[in-house]
């Protein structure tokens, strides 16, 4: 059996499932989780959706988002756990329940760099979003089309991870799939406005500060934005609001790699490393350079055009490390 067939067999045999995704989840992780949850519920399964962190505001409009719990129900065990859009075990909290609770762990993902930590891997590295892998799994389960309640979160996940169908991973199949999901009555403006707009003033103010501090290196081929925690606090923003701002560095003409570094306070259950961590986000222009290789060299991972890592050092040292890796990739 293929991995899809093995996962489908586990799902058919089971009754109760735990669904989760990586900490600090993004729209693809959440949309894939919520869409998969509705697919399983449509099959008569009991489903619990869990994430340690509150969901981002950009997905609060999705049905089922308000039912995601931040702790696993006490005294409940599961026939299997499905983890969406999560390439490494360290992207799950230390408080992730043991195997006696989770049952077999099925990873549903589309990242190339992976540490293969689950019992079963359902992965397509050519997929533009994990939601596309969920849809293929649904077909393996004989669920096609997916229930209308699953269409909106899955469409949202695809829109988000393709940058509104702009990124290199977007294919004709991507657009056909989006059109099929829209047949369920999806309003594309509702999705686009929530995912890409509707920012609070504090986030827009933070973006202004970040762009004002933007620098270029290697004769303009690399853009770098550094966001210290003090900048976030001055804007009245939150650490979560920094996500995605790396895209603005890529908008600068001539930039091949956009780098964003920002300080964040770790939670007690995710690290032993001091008071601050430095998060790294990377983007490449047009897919010509593989920024996942840069991230992997620094302990992270991701895709050819979008990747990231967490560095256990301050902003200054992190800047030197990532610029050295970027320079090597550029042959400089």
pLDDT digits (tens, 9 = 90+) for 59-73: 999 999 999 999 998
Q: How confident is the model at residue 2 (pLDDT cuts 50, 70, 90)?
A: low
Q: CA-CA distance, 328 to 1, in Å (whole number)?
A: 42
pTM of the predicted structure, to 2 decimals: 0.92
User: Residue 195 — pLDDT band, cuts 50, 70, 90?
Assistant: very high
User: What's the pLDDT at 222?
Assistant: 97
Average pLDDT over residues 70-91: 92
| 268 pLDDT higher than 80 | no
User: What are the domain boundaries of the chain?
Assistant: 3-196, 201-329
**Pick among 3.10.310.30, 3.40.50.2300, 3.10.20.30, 3.20.20.70: CATH of 201-329:** 3.10.310.30
CATH of 3-196 given 3.40.50.300, 3.40.50.1220, 3.30.930.10, 3.90.1640.10: 3.90.1640.10
Please name the residues in contact with 90: beta carbons below 8 A apart, sequence gap of 6 or more.
Answer: none
Give the angle 183-184-185 at the CA atoms, nearest 5°.
90
Higher pLDDT, residue 275 or 34 = 34
Q: What is the pLDDT of residues 277-306, one digit of tens each?
A: 899 999 998 878 999 999 999 988 888 888
* pLDDT on residue 71: 92
pLDDT, greater one: 273 or 71? 71
Rounded Cα distance between 77 and 123, Å, is 25
pLDDT of the residue at 269: 59
Q: What is the pLDDT of residue 273?
A: 47
């Amino acid at each position: 059996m293929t991995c899809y067939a093995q996962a489908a067999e586990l799902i058919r045999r089971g009754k109760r499932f735990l669904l989760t995704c990586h900490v600090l989840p993004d729209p693809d992780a959440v949309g894939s989780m919520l869409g998969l949850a509705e697919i399983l519920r449509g099959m008569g399964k009991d489903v619990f959706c869990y994430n340690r962190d509150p969901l981002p505001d950009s997905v609060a409009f999705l049905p089922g988002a308000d039912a995601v719990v931040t702790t696993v129900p006490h005294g409940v065990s599961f026939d299997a756990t499905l983890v969406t859009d999560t390439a490494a075990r360290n992207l799950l909290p230390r408080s992730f329940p043991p195997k006696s609770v989770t049952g077999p762990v099925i990873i549903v993902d589309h990242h190339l760099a992976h540490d293969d930590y689950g019992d079963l891997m359902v992965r397509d590295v050519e997929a533009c979003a994990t939601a596309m892998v969920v849809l293929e799994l649904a077909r393996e389960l004989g669920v096609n089309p997916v229930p209308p309640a699953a269409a909106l979160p899955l469409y949202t996940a695809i829109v988000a991870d393709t940058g509104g169908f702009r990124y290199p991973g977007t294919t004709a199949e991507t657009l056909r799939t989006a059109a099929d999901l829209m047949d369920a009555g999806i309003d594309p403006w509702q999705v686009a406005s929530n995912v890409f707009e509707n920012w609070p003033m504090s986030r827009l103010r933070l973006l202004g500060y970040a762009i004002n501090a933007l620098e270029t290196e290697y004769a303009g081929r690399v853009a770098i934005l550094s966001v210290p925690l003090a900048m976030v606090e001055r804007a009245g923003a939150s650490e979560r609001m920094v996500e995605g701002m790396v895209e603005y560095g890529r908008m600068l003409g001539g930039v091949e790699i956009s780098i964003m570094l920002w300080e964040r306070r770790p939670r007690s259950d995710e690290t032993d490393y001091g008071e601050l961590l430095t998060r790294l986000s990377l983007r490449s222009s047009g897919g010509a350079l593989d920024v996942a290789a840069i991230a992997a060299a620094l302990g992270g991972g991701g895709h050819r055009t979008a990747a990231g890592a967490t560095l256990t050092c301050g902003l200054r040292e992190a800047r030197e490390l990532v610029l050295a890796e970027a320079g090597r990739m550029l042959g400089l």
